[in-house]
Amino acid sequence: MKILNLVLDFVRVHKFLIGGISVGMFLISALLVPVFVQILPADYFKKRKIRAKPKWVPFPMHVLYLVVKNIIGIVLIIMGLAMLVLPGQGLITLIVGIILTDIPGERQAFLFVLRRTPVLKGMNWLRKKKNIPPFELPEMEYK
């Protein structure tokens, strides 16, 4: 009970800060998630990711790119998880965050979510509004 009272006291004291963060996360996701969904190629989910460094990119720039991309992905994953209970596009934000990160099993994770939730339908709806072809998913792999 003590922990619950501490949490409730924290929420009472910081309700405007919590509300502001919630509204900010909603606005950021409403603005950025459609952009990410629309710039991905239609066959993005069919391709295996190739993480080879392009020859023309200097190594330090490639490392900086990977660090920034993964930080943005982790922030989107955290925001997506929070938006599962707060206002916002939680699952779509979560998927975009997973796509941006270089974590083991990411491909299986987002394909699992895409096949079992209305996320793919929502993402394809965003693409249809801009006359962009819908996403293609690979065939199910049975083992």
14-68 residue pLDDT tens: 888 878 877 887 788 778 878 888 888 888 777 766 566 667 778 888 888 888 8
Answer whether 0.85 is exceeded by the pTM. Answer: no
The domain locations on the chain are 2-129
Mean pLDDT of the chain: 80
91-143 residue pLDDT tens: 777 877 887 888 887 777 778 877 777 878 888 898 898 899 998 888 765 44
101 Cβ contact list (under 8 Å, min separation 6): 69, 70, 73, 74, 77
- Its sign, for the CA torsion 62, 63, 67, 73, is positive
